Every structure is written in structure tokens, then in C-alpha cells.
Amino acid sequence: MTVGTPDHDAKVLQPAYRRGNSYQSVIARLSSHDAFATLKDALTTDPRLTVMVIREPEYYARQSQTLQTVIRTVGFAIAGLMGIGAIFGAVNTMYNAVASRGREIATLRALGFGSIPVVVSVLAEAVVLSLIGGVIGGLLAYAAFDGFKTSTMNFQSFSQVAFAFQVTPPLLARGLFYAVIMGVLGGLLPAIKAARLPIATALRQL
């Protein structure tokens, strides 16, 4: 076992932090991955010791768990508000599109097109516009934030936490999926309005 902090350094730090003769953490390098279970059983079953034996990645994950929860909560809340705003924007855009093409839609209805094709055409337009916006947003996010590194204070352990953003293809695909969902939700009500538009009234529009 290799102790991460030399003993003489620990003796200097212990009085400064009022630790007495105790240690807060000990880092050990094992001979193999499978040796962890043996070490854990040996330390936790020893009645002279009161220790918690965990792997180093799990230790750092626990140290930043609260910070991750805060960041994720704030991030999802902001993303949700922006998504709602995008849906309202799509609704407004598609309502304007339906209003400006009322005569065209009425002409198609007069030629024999049913309500379903009209709804599908309006939804398809909304989805195409949302995909274009999603692609542009994804490219901007990739150019601005992929590989971007920053740090913040972890108030759980009063240490500095550094992290890097990664805009991966799965994340971009998920963003496009959400863009399609917002496009469908934003275009649904205008599509229904277009399908229910009275033919005679729409044909009289200038």
C-alpha cells in the first residue's frame, strides 16, 4: 500500500488542522482491481478501525454530489423555461403562417383535400423549421462550448471543482429530438385551426 501523503508532512498538517493523531483520508494503490474487495473486508472487519473504504472515483463523486444536483436543477429549470418560450414562439410563428396562407389552405380544401393532410402539412412545416433551428443551435453550442473548461467552488467540501463541457453527438441528437417535440407542440394548435378554417370565409380574404 502506498500512502498518498508522506508521514512527516502529515505530522506538520495535523496540528494546523487540529486533527490530533488522526487521518481524514488515506489513498492506497492496489496490486490489482480485484484486490479492493479483500482490502475493504480486512479494514471494515477490524474492530480497532472505524473507516469507510471506497474507490477514489466514488469518493470524488460523493464530494461533488450536492454541487451536481444544484447545477443540474438550475440547468434543467433554465432549459425548461427556454423550451416553453420556444414553444410559444413556434405557436406564434405558425399562427402567422396559417393566417397569411388562409386562401391557399381554403383552396386546397375546396379541391378535395381533407383536414388530416392540412394538419400534417402545417406540422411538417413546423418540424422542418424546428429542425433548422435545432441544427443552428447545436452548431453554435459545439463551436462555443465544446472543450470549454471552467471551475467553481464546491461548498460541500470547500474545494475547487474544475470541469469541461463536451458537446457529443448523442447530446446533439437529443437536442434535435427535443427540437422536434417543441416543433410538434408549437404547430399543433395552428394546424388544427387551419383544418377548421371555413372554406367560404377564407376564400374571401384578400
Residues 12 and 86 both lie in one domain: no
Query: What residues have CB less than 8 Å from 14, skipping those under 6 apart?
Result: 20, 21, 22
Query: Is the domain of 99 the same as that of 180?
Result: yes
pTM listed for this prediction: 0.67
Decide if 93 is inside a domain: yes
* Confidence band for 196, pLDDT divided at 50, 70 and 90: confident
Q: Quick check: 180 and 138 in contact, CB under 8 A?
A: no
In a domain, 180, yes or no: yes
Considering the domain boundaries, does residue 69 fall inside one?
A: no
Is 61 within the bounds of a domain? no
Report if residue 23 sits inside a domain: yes
Residue 85 has pLDDT above 70, yes or no: yes
Give per-residue pLDDT as tens, 33-65: 888 888 888 888 888 878 888 888 888 777 777
Residues 95, 197: Cα–Cα separation, whole Å: 12
> Residues 32, 9: contact at Cβ < 8 Å?
no
Residue 101 counted as domain residue: yes
107 and 161 together in one domain = yes
Encode pLDDT of 3-16 as tens digits: 444 566 777 777 77
pLDDT exceeds 90 at position 30: no
99 and 198 housed in the same domain: yes
Q: How many domains does the chain have?
A: 2
Which structural domain, as residue segments, surrounds residue 95?
Answer: 79-203
Same domain, 34 and 86: no
Residue 147 located in a structural domain: yes
Dihedral sign (CA 93, 95, 98, 100) = negative
3-state secondary structure (DSSP) of residue 149: strand
Instruction: Between 150 and 73, name the one with better pLDDT.
Output: 73
